[in-house]
Amino acid sequence: MAVAKAPKIVPWTSTEEYMNVADWLYSTELRERKRGVAVVKAWRARGRVPAAIEATANLAEILIADQERRQGMSISQLRHMYSMALIRFVNSIVDLEQRGTFAQSMTTLATRIGMPAWFVELRHTCTHEQIPSLMVLRSACEQAHSWIGDYYWKRQARTLPEDTMAHIREAISAYVTLRAKAKGDGSNASTPVKKGTADARAFETAKKSLKLLLGQLHEDAVRLYVVPVLVEPGFLVPDDKRLRSRFPDCAMPARLIQQWSSILRLFTEAWGESLFFEELLSGIVATLLPDPNELSIFESSERSPSTSHAATLVAWIGWIIQNYYVPDNTTASPAISLDDLLEGCLRSPCYYSRAVLRIVSAHDPTLKRELRPFVDFMGKALTALVAVESETKAGSAKKGIRFSEESLRQEEELMAQRLKQTFEAETEMTDVQAMHMDSTIDPSEARTQAAPAAASRWSCLAQPAWSPCPIGTLGDGSIPSLEWPSWLDDVPLHLTS
């Protein structure tokens, strides 16, 4: 009989958190690197952190400090900090390989684990000789940070293929579709298909493939891969909107239960009822409710599901609670916990969270008394919000009409002003032309008086005066003035409030 291994205590709560920190520590964004360093500091407070993670965080922190040059840090201070980070890096990683009765040299140990020998030489220089230049130390820390990523972090990553979610999506779709044909619970089937038929054999093959895939998945894959697929349209929520639930009753369609009960049983056999359904409830709540850190109270997100989609997810919550939740006032032990579900609903009050809380209250009299004030508050707040939005829309419409009328009036006055100034400017040219047409005035005097006006603007000469002239000049060969008229400087081009 194999002896079970003792559980290993680690400071991170999940593999997802662990791999997220790896991504943050190696991110090109300064903000992400700071976040990774901060999480590692929190891990140190929880317990013992592996030496490789300590070294990665130390190197990342020193690179951040160099990039920001906070608090007027001098080059000498940076050199000493870089030196200490490199010394700690080499010592912490190489000492892990120190085994046996007799100690081995650091160069031998570094070669054994694939660490470049010049890391050890640079560590010796920083310890016993003059500290190298900032350029050398900076380059060494960057390369050490990259090396430990290949040596440690990439080896820790799980060997799941990149298209894991696609495989899960295909396996679940094939199982559900072929089961409907084999069991006769599809829309076009009235009686079960006999064993040995092509549909029955295809279903058994799909079932074996799905079980094999589930056996290869870690528990964290439930949250990372399986639940995100199940809450997509086309799975627990059918594409056909006629088969979805409706608010406010959120009744579960019998066909959905018949279609999914078998595959949900496979999931609970693989990971247990408590783990699977609690993760599924968390995933549904995350899909239904907005992030309270990003949105204000009762505000909707662009990623929020449609009404029928949300109603079907709420119906699934009710079905899970009805079948797998046991109230605290009973003698039986509860199969699942609703702590995360309740916390998510109370942190993100909205119409959907209120519907979930009402379902929980219907199944647990004790929670009903405790949740009643919150449900009543959400109902009153939503009613008040709808009334305020209606008044705001009505007021905005009236205000918009007044603003439109006022804008038209101002625009009309502005256009009248522009026309008046334009016609006043044209009066000069009209007077000069009248002088030219007056027979009592000497023609040469008229031409002399009209010359400045003719030279300042384009004008149409009488047909007898037409004569060849260069392109871009007036009839007398002069070049017109194209300067901006000074009177236009006082005319506003746009309305101002």
- Write out the two tokens for 412: 């009309």
Residue 60: CB atoms within 10 Å: 22
The boundaries of the domain holding residue 92 are: 15-97+105-156
Does 228 sit behind a cis peptide bond, omega within 30 degrees of 0 on the bond before it?
no
Written as tens digits, the pLDDT of the chain (497 aa) is 444 445 667 888 877 788 889 889 998 888 899 999 999 999 999 888 888 899 999 999 988 888 887 667 788 888 898 999 999 988 888 887 776 667 778 888 888 888 888 888 898 899 888 888 888 998 999 999 999 988 888 777 554 455 677 888 899 999 998 888 877 654 444 445 556 678 788 888 889 989 888 887 877 788 878 998 999 999 999 998 888 999 888 999 998 998 999 999 999 998 888 889 998 998 899 888 865 544 444 555 556 788 999 999 999 999 999 999 988 766 666 578 888 888 888 888 888 888 999 999 998 888 888 888 888 888 877 777 777 767 666 665 554 444 455 655 666 676 667 656 655 654 554 444 444 444 444 544 544 444 444 444 556 667 777 778 788 777 777 777 766 666 666 655 444 44
- Write out the two tokens for 283: 């995933």
Prediction pTM value = 0.52
Domain boundary among 357, 388, 409: 409
- Nearest 5°: the CA angle 198, 202, 208 is 150
Identity at 198, one-letter amino acid code: A
Q: Which of 323, 328, 234, 331 is nearest to 281 (CA)?
A: 323
Does residue 89 lie within any of the structural domains? yes
Separation CA 53–CA 78 (nearest Å): 22
150 and 254 assigned to the same domain: no
Half-sphere exposure of 430 (CA within 13 A, CB side): 6
Separation CA 119–CA 122 (nearest Å): 5
Positive or negative: CA dihedral 303, 308, 313, 314: positive
Packing angle of the helix pair 134-148, 117-128 (nearest 10 deg): 140
Positive or negative: CA dihedral 77, 78, 80, 84: positive
Does residue 26 lie within any of the structural domains? yes
Does residue 135 lie within any of the structural domains? yes
Give the distance, in angstroms, between the CA of residue 310 and the centroid of all CA atoms in the same chain.
20
Concatenated DSSP letters of 311-361: HHHHHHHHHHHHHH---TTSSSPPSS--HHHHHHHHHS-SHHHHHHHHHHH
Does residue 290 lie within any of the structural domains? yes
Name, in order, each residue with C-beta under 8 angstroms of 487's C-beta and a sequence gap of 6 or more: 421, 425
Q: Which of 110, 95, 149 is nearest to 122 (CA)?
A: 110
Q: Which of 60, 54, 136, 44 is nearest to 90 (CA)?
A: 54
- Write out the two tokens for 69: 């040059």
- Write out the two tokens for 379: 């109902």
132 and 256 assigned to the same domain: no
263 and 402 assigned to the same domain: yes
Count how many domains the chain has: 2
Does residue 90 lie within any of the structural domains? yes
Asked if 40 contacts 17 with a C-beta cutoff of 8 angstroms, the reply is: no
- Helix ranges restricted to H, 130-272: 134-148, 154-156, 164-183, 198-216, 220-221, 227-230, 254-271
Does residue 286 lie within any of the structural domains? yes
Domain boundary among 357, 376, 409: 409
Does residue 208 lie within any of the structural domains? no
pLDDT tens digits for range 313-345: 999 999 999 999 988 766 666 578 888 888 888
Does residue 493 lie within any of the structural domains? no
265 and 142 assigned to the same domain: no
259 and 145 assigned to the same domain: no
264 and 399 assigned to the same domain: yes
